[in-house]
Amino acid sequence: MANSELPQPNKYTKSLTYLCMGKSVIVIGSGISGLAASIRLARKGYMVTVLEANDHPGGKASQIQLGGFRFDTVPSIFTLPEEIVELYELCGLKIEDHFEYRRLDTICKYFYPDGTELIGYSDKEKFIQETHEKTGEPRVNIEGALEKSAFLFENLSPLLIQKPLHKPSTWLNRNALKSLMQLPKFDLGKTMHEVNKTQFEQCKTIQLFNRYATYNGSDPFQAPATLNFIPHLEFGLGAYFPKKGMYDITRSLYNLAKTTGVKFQFGARVKRIIVHEGVAKGVDTMMGFHKADRVVSNMDAVATYKRLLKDQSQPRRLLKQPRSSSALIFYWGIKKYFPQLDLHNVFFSKDYPGEFEHIFQKESISEDPTVYLNISSTQKPDDAPEGCQNWFTMINVPHDSGQDWDHLIAQARINILKKLSTALNTDIEPLIVAESVLEPRLIEAKTSAWQGSLYGNSFNDKYAPFRRHPNFSKDIKNLYFCGGSVHPGGGIPKSLCSAKIMVDNFR
């Protein structure tokens, strides 16, 4: 496309185009990573405009209201709050004046099919003793696993989470070489399950620690053992809860971005990224052309190429990689208070290998899925009417590949209600007074997550971290990427790190 053929700014975008001459950046999408990237870029002196297809910020990290019930759309266990603290410090502000959070005493409650209930205390010693008493697992095994998790985090985080994998400088320094000297201890070439079944004796403990693969939409029977660093985030560094709910992370970062001068346009769906002679020049939207010196995509990387860069060379290796799991979520307003439930609750399946086989091989849903139940009203009472609870009820499901979702959802609802009713000795369905559903098709429609995958491509391969798309385009100059679908991966902490890595390597 010749310069004269570039789409011309219309009345709607003309002022934006002239304002941003020079160091202008367009960020596509206002997910957590997009918000963090916009803040960091603005502090570097760039004139930043965020274009968001929806009428609100947050992407997957949003909220919904059902009558008197409020729900965070995709709650997760909140770890590494220092990544948010850093953004406020970067802006010369005290986080406590804008965003409050507290450390949890109980990280999660676990319910097993045989009636065993295990409390995941944040106090490491209490957790070890609780697990030993409830599962019969020798204390030394649990202590050893947590020590190994801390070792993996301390050695792998600086390489695989905090730095760009695709830059020689990440690997050619003293600290990196020191970590690489520990390679034999990283269990490379082994899966998470292969390591867990050797370091634990009891099936219940193996299942508990295998669960951490689901934190990035993976299968513990295929995912690399290096992911065993995840427990340390909770039991070593702590799990937290924002006092106003998980959506307050989005809300606070959105307000912080506006404070730094970032401009937002909502309802501005991007049609394509304009590339001229191998250089990103801006984006085309339904309302015209937006010129920019650099373009950042906070969209799913695969969706970015397939929808916004259709006329550009496609990264075949990226597009061929298997997708992560998706989610089926029922938002239920429950007219009863269950004192035995906490903020985070997990109801395990009887057949864990079979559950993951259904997700990743059969692309279906097990009749006995593991159920994750998040109840923010246990921490924030005004999220539900008095005497009620807001149940965010989720199971892991395959990405959308054309399944009969209406049938699968209806059957899964029956199975989930049966499972919860049995575990809680109460008929749950009559207690539901409000309901909404989020499933893979809607996840893609609302967030542009390709095929509804929550975490982009899966980690079901020992080389998966190295196969994730980098935070920049190797072929298109001035085009960058951030978010859960690119390096270093999904989840709020990694998404925040993704923004930092990208901005630190802006060129």
Tens of pLDDT, residue by residue over 2-18, are 332 333 333 333 333 33
Check whether 217 has a pLDDT greater than 70. yes
Lookup: tokens for 206: 């193996």
The whole-number pLDDT of residue 222 equals 96
Quote the Cα angle for 65-69-73, to 5°. Answer: 55
User: What are the structural domain ranges in the chain?
Assistant: 3-63+246-322+467-504
- Strands 294-297 and 24-28, bridge-based pairing: parallel
Tens of pLDDT, residue by residue over 41-63, are 999 999 999 999 999 999 999 99
Range with the poorest average pLDDT among 61-65, 152-156, 266-270, 465-469: 465-469
Tens of pLDDT, residue by residue over 416-443, are 999 999 999 999 999 999 999 999 999 9
DSSP-based three-state secondary structure for 445: helix
Check whether 20 has a pLDDT greater than 70. no
Check whether 22 has a pLDDT greater than 80. no
> Which CATH fold topology does 3-63+246-322+467-504 show?
FAD/NAD(P)-binding domain (3.50.50)
- 298 with 36: CB under 8 angstroms? no
CA 490 – CA 154 distance, rounded (Å): 19
pLDDT-derived band at 287, boundaries 50, 70, 90? confident
CA 203 – CA 466 distance, rounded (Å): 31
What are the beta bridge partners of residue 331? 392, 436
- In this structure, the number of other CB atoms found within 10 A of the CB of residue 317 comes to 9
pLDDT-derived band at 235, boundaries 50, 70, 90? very high
Check whether 209 has a pLDDT greater than 80. yes
Handedness of CA 29, 31, 35, 40 (dihedral sign): negative
CA distance between the termini of the chain: 24
- 80 with 53: CB under 8 angstroms? no
The whole-number pLDDT of residue 181 equals 83
Lookup: tokens for 345: 């609750």
The whole-number pLDDT of residue 7 equals 36
- Percent of the chain scoring above 90 in pLDDT: 83
Note if the bond before 488 is cis, omega within 30 degrees.
yes
Tens of pLDDT, residue by residue over 59-96, are 999 999 999 999 999 768 999 999 999 999 999 999 99
What are the beta bridge partners of residue 203? none
Query: 163 or 253: whose pLDDT is higher?
Result: 253
Average pLDDT for residues 204-231, to the nearest whole number?
Answer: 96
Q: Alpha-carbon Rg of the chain, whole angstroms?
A: 23
The whole-number pLDDT of residue 4 equals 29
The pTM score is 0.92
The whole-number pLDDT of residue 421 equals 98
Check whether 286 has a pLDDT greater than 90. no
CA 364 – CA 445 distance, rounded (Å): 20
Averaged pLDDT of the chain = 93
Check whether 474 has a pLDDT greater than 50. yes
The whole-number pLDDT of residue 62 equals 95
Strands (E), 364-502: 371-374, 389-397, 432-438, 479-481
Average pLDDT for residues 19-39, to the nearest whole number?
Answer: 87
Lookup: tokens for 251: 């809300």
Q: Rounded to an integer, what is the distance from CA 286 to the centroid of its chain?
A: 29
Average pLDDT for residues 342-371, to the nearest whole number?
Answer: 98
Q: Helices marked H in 211-246 — which ranges? A: 230-235
- In this structure, the number of other CB atoms found within 10 A of the CB of residue 94 comes to 10
Check whether 1 has a pLDDT greater than 60. no
